[in-house]
Amino acid sequence: MFEKMIRKHSVYMVIFFIWFISVLISGLLTLLIMRITLNENYMIALIIACSAATVASLSTSIPTSLVYKKIIQMKDEIIKLSKIDGLTKLLNRTSFMELYEQLVKDSIEKQDSLAVIIFDLDHFKRINDSYGHAGGDKVLERVGTIIKQLLPKQELIGRFGGEEFIVVLHDVTKDEASVIGERIRHELNSSIIYNEKEINFTVSVGIVHTSHCNLDTDSLIKIADDNLYIAKRNGRNNTSIEYV
């Protein structure tokens, strides 16, 4: 935060410095013009006047361009941040659904294979009750870090809500979908240290795979979600998959 404040104020200091120097030079040139004009050397006065006008123009255009560039950068950053869940650094639900709906539409048109994986932290309420919401947040952060390291960047990954996460795999076989789902479950059988205490956590995983996508977005999510609850009923820290 402190470094951001320094960078922010540094930009403003540079802008002010450029403006101040430009105005100072413009003023000195103006005084020189008046003196030369009084001596009736109009050609020299005209040249200096043009120089003064140029400097005066730069005094406004340079800071304005710098400020505009900074505003554009801030706007792009805000747009980027609005798509990301602040805690896990994964796509938030809104951004995920926008991309997911387009991916499903394309897969239906091309009859591509598709897999939807939904996984959920087991007994997350118990973690919050035992270690506080700050401890629970640390677990969620760790889940985000692990899942990003585990899956290729081209896969669609999002925080679906609370302690629930969703992954979409495009153009994969049913065996590949099953293996990836099991890898997620295995890697997220993990722990963190929080306030010198170990917090253990596991996930349950529900998967739906379609060889030739012909289901809409809601249907795929519902089947994956149903299998998630089957995994939980089977004792949690478990995986359930359905092929459609």
pLDDT tens-digit map of 141-190: 999 999 999 997 768 999 999 999 999 999 999 999 999 999 999 999 99
Supply the DSSP string of 50-88, one letter for each residue. HHHHHHHHHHHHHHHHHHHHHHHHHHHHHHHHHTB-TTT
Residue of 77, 163, 176, 182 marked catalytic? 163
163 is catalytic: yes
Other C-beta atoms lying within 10 Å of the C-beta of residue 24: 12
Q: Do the strands 190-194 and 156-161 form a parallel or antiparallel pair, or are they unpaired?
A: unpaired
pLDDT tens-digit map of 22-51: 545 554 544 444 454 444 454 554 455 555
Helical (H) or strand (E) element with 112: none
Dihedrals phi, psi of 164, to nearest 5 degrees? -105, 135
pLDDT category, 224, cuts 50, 70, 90?
very high
